[in-house]
Chains A and B, each alone.
Chain A
Amino acid sequence: MSLAIPVLLAAKAACEPVRMTDWHNLLGVIWDFLSLSLFSLGGGNTLLAEYHSIAVHKYCWITSDQFADIYAFAEAAPGPSSMIVGLLGMGAAWREGPLWALLSGIAAETAILLPSTLVMVVASLSWSRFKDSPWRMAFERGMGPITLGILFAVGLKILQTADHTPLAYGVSVLVCFLMLRTKISPLWFMGVAGVLGGLGWISRY
């Protein structure tokens, strides 16, 4: 029951989306996520710009606007926001119907989690040996500044992906400020901004 969504990617005609029913493509995609898994420093959000480049530019699964939407869902929904990979996998196979989309979402999420989980299992079981090793201290201190640089680059990338008007930039900067200065749940910010958007006060373009 493939419900045809007519113009899913009308705007990006130049970039041909790959078909996920071709196992060759599927394996390529799984490999992309598997190989990124161990580079997710600082809790996973450091990979967002990479996800954007894979999903929007490399494979053309979704548009940049859709990426912004999906990122918002992953942030708003309960659970870790790195589950965005499941939504990307879903977008990748949406053309082949919802069942494929679901399978592809699960496959993508499994691929991104598997390597880091296996490393984490080994780390948990041998932590007492790592604890005071100079490697651990160098890694912990060295990766901090790198994570910082990546997070700023990722924040800017998401900002440019989501915002196209001065008003939208203003909303983002305000939310950023409130996130840093208050303990208000971000769900409120998204809720209020959603209402303003629904009323037509914030528009995408």
Chain B
Amino acid sequence: MSGQNTSEQPLAPAPSLRELFFGMLQVAISSFGGGLSAWSERIVVEQRRWMSDEEFLTGLTVARLFPGPNQINMAVYIGASFRGLAGALVALAGILLVPFSFLMLLGLAYFYLHEVESVGAVLSGVVAAAAGMALSMGFKIAGQYVRDPVAVVFAAAVFLALNNFHQRLIPVILVSGPLAMAWYWPRRGKRELQP
């Protein structure tokens, strides 16, 4: 976002596989308190100068558009842009190694200890808070669709199919996806209401 000053300085040469791995490792470790996306930008654009701001934002667009976790997709984009498939896999390993190992340790501790009463008591509070986070996900993106009645109808239909009619996710997407794509297929002159 803060384009000017960074884009004036020249970019660094394309990172090697090794540099990709350690760069992504640094992103993962730096973001231990949260803010993975901001750290990724700081390290890849500002510190290491692998990409310009513009290239980075393009990457974010691609990462959000395609299936998969956004931050992981971003690492894959960075790796693939410089070193193809090998770069993507190396970047993926770099971004996942520490957080995933940490989570696996947490998981091992949990499965050993979850029968302990005090652990269960603490968790009964934690899960209520976590459920609140899950609930907020829909509301967070709802604002951009409320003025498009067709979008609301699509969202409501998908919600009802999953929640009230207990349909599975994959068939719901396979049916609603093409319909929505047909409706939103870009046409000249008609309905150019970009959110």
A interface, CB within 8 angstroms of B: 3, 5, 7, 35-50, 53, 66, 68-83, 86-87, 90-91, 94, 98, 101-102, 105-106, 109, 113, 115-117, 119-121, 123-125, 127, 134-159, 161-163, 168-169, 171-176, 178-180, 185-187, 189-190, 192-198, 200-204
Interface secondary structure of A, over-half rule:
helix
Given the known interface contacts A127-B58, A139-B181, A145-B151, the answer about A153 and B159 at a Cβ–Cβ threshold of 8 Å is yes
Question: Is B100 touching A79 in the complex (CB atoms < 8 A)?
Answer: yes
Choose among A135, A142, A143 the residue with the greatest number of B CB atoms under 10 Å from its CB. A142
What residues on B are CB-neighbors of A40 within 8 Å? 67-69
Task: Return the CB mask of B84-116 against A: 1 if under 8 Å, else 0.
Answer: 110011001001101110111011101110110
Given A73-B110, A136-B65, A145-B154, A80 and B71 touching (CB < 8 A)?
yes
- Bound together, the chains give a CA A149 to CA B152 distance in angstroms of 8
User: Contacts A90-B111, A145-B152, A195-B125 known; A116 to B73 CB distance under 8 Å?
Assistant: yes
Q: B183 contacts which chain A residues (CB < 8 A)?
A: 142
Interface bin, chain B: 35 or more
**Could you say which residues of chain A place their CB within 8 Å of the CB of B112?**
3, 5
Pick the contact of A86: B59, B104, B148 (CB < 8 A): B104
8 A Cβ contacts from B130-159 to A = 130-142, 144-145, 148, 150-152, 154-159
User: What are 21 A-B contacts with C-beta separation under 8 Å?
Assistant: A7-B115, A72-B127, A73-B107, A80-B70, A83-B99, A90-B111, A123-B65, A124-B81, A125-B80, A137-B185, A138-B182, A145-B148, A149-B159, A159-B134, A162-B131, A172-B131, A175-B136, A193-B128, A198-B121, A203-B124, A204-B120
The interface of chain B, by Cβ under 8 A from chain A, is: 28, 31-34, 36, 58-59, 62-73, 76-77, 80-81, 84-85, 88-89, 92, 95-96, 98-100, 102-104, 106-108, 110-112, 114-115, 118, 120-142, 144-145, 148, 150-152, 154-159, 162-163, 168-170, 172-173, 176-177, 179-186
Given A113-B68, A117-B92, A142-B181, the answer on whether A158 and B134 have CB atoms closer than 8 Å is yes
A-B pair count, CB < 8 Å, reads 369
Chain B residue at minimum C-beta to C-beta distance from A43: B70
Whose C-beta in chain A lies nearest to the C-beta of B63? A120
Q: How far is the CA of A121 from the CA of B84 in the complex (A)?
A: 7
For B158, what are the chain A residues with a Cβ–Cβ distance below 8 Å? Answer: 145-146, 148-150, 153
The residue in chain A whose Cβ has the minimal distance to the Cβ of B157 is A149
Q: Are A117 and B103 in contact (CB under 8 A)?
A: no
Q: Give Cα A164 to B32, complex, Å.
A: 31
Asked if A189 and B129 make an inter-chain contact with CB atoms under 8 angstroms apart, the answer reads: yes
Given A79-B100, A197-B124, A187:B34 Cβ within 8 A: yes
User: Which of B81, B133, B184 is in CB contact (< 8 Å) with A176?
Assistant: B133
A5 touches B103 (CB 8 A): no
* Cα A113 to Cα B151 with chains together (Å): 29
Bound Cα distance A25, B104 (Å): 22
Instruction: Tell me which residues across on chain A come within 8 A of B140, comparing CB atoms.
Output: 179-180
Tell me whether A179 and B120 are in contact (CB under 8 A): no
Known: A78-B28, A105-B104, A127-B58. A186 touches B129 (CB 8 A): yes
